[in-house]
Amino acid sequence: MKNLLFFILFSSLLVLGTACSPDEGTQIPESEDSIEEKNEQEEAEKEEIDNEVSIEEETSKEEVETEQKESKQEDSNLNQEESASEVDQDIVTLLKGKAIVGKEINDVKQLLGEPNVNHKDTIMHAWRYDYTEDGYKYSNELISVDVAGLTERSMNAQVFVYFENNKVSSVSIYYFTDEDIMHYRETKEGFEEYSASAD
C-alpha cells in the first residue's frame, strides 16, 4: 500500500511539474534511472555518429583506392602506347639506317632475312617484310600495305624492297605515328618521307 501511495504522489508531482513551467533558476532533479537512460542514449547517438564517420572514412578510402587503381591503369595504358610507339620508331630508325638500295638479293637476305612475301612477275620483283607484334599475321600475300594493322599497332612497320636486274632499286617503309601512316621511300637519288594518305 505504501508503494501505491508513493507511486500516486510521485505521479502527481510529475504531472504538476510538467504542467507548470519552472523558473529559469529552478530545475526538477532527475532520477538516477532517467540520468542513466539519458547517458545511454547520448552514448548510443555518439556511437552511431562514430559509425557513420567510420563508414564515410571507409567509403572515402575505397574511392581513393579506386581512383588510384584507375590512374595506374591509365598510366599503364599510356606507357604501353608510348612503349609501342618507341618500339615502332626503333624499328623504323633501324630500317632507315640500313643501306639497302643498290644491294643484291643475297645481301638483302643477310640484312633483313627471308621476306614474308616474294612477288615476281614480268613487270615487278618485290619483297614484303612485316614487322608485327607477337601473334599477329597479315594474311594478304600481295605487295600491299596493312593499313588496319598499322593503325591498330599490330603491325609495327612494313618494308617493301623493289628489285631491278637483281639489285635493289628502291625501298619503302610504312609505319604509324601518333596521327598518320607515314611512307619513307629511298632510291639511289635519295629519300623522301611523307604521309601515306597522299599515296
Q: Is 190 exposed, middle or buried (0-12, 13-18, 19+ CB in 10 A)?
A: exposed
Q: Nearest CA to 145 among 182, 98, 105, 193?
A: 182
Q: How many other CB atoms are found less than 10 A from the CB of residue 103?
A: 19
Going by C-beta distance under 8 Å and a sequence separation of 6 or more, which residues neighbour residue 96?
Answer: 173, 184, 186, 191
In the chain, where the domains are located: 99-198
pLDDT in tens, 171-180: 999 999 888 9
Whole-number pLDDT of residue 47? 77
Whole-number pLDDT of residue 148? 93
The CA–CA distances, whole Å, from 150 to 26, 36, 100, 185, 186 equal 89, 78, 23, 17, 20
C-alpha 190/C-alpha 173 separation (Å) is 14
Query: Cell numbers of 158, please?
Result: 612494313
Instruction: Give 2's strand partners.
Output: none
- What's the CATH fold of domain 99-198? Beta-lactamase Inhibitory Protein; Chain:B, domain 1 (3.30.1450)
Q: Are 119 and 142 in contact (CB under 8 A)?
A: yes
Amino acid at 42: E
- Taking only the tens of pLDDT, the chain with its 199 residues reads 555 555 565 566 555 555 555 454 545 556 677 777 777 888 877 777 776 666 666 666 677 666 665 655 554 444 444 444 555 567 788 888 888 899 999 999 999 999 999 999 888 999 999 999 989 999 888 899 999 999 999 999 999 999 999 999 999 999 998 889 999 999 999 999 998 875 5
Q: Is 147 exposed, middle or buried (0-12, 13-18, 19+ CB in 10 A)?
A: middle
Whole-number pLDDT of residue 79? 41
Amino acid at 25: G
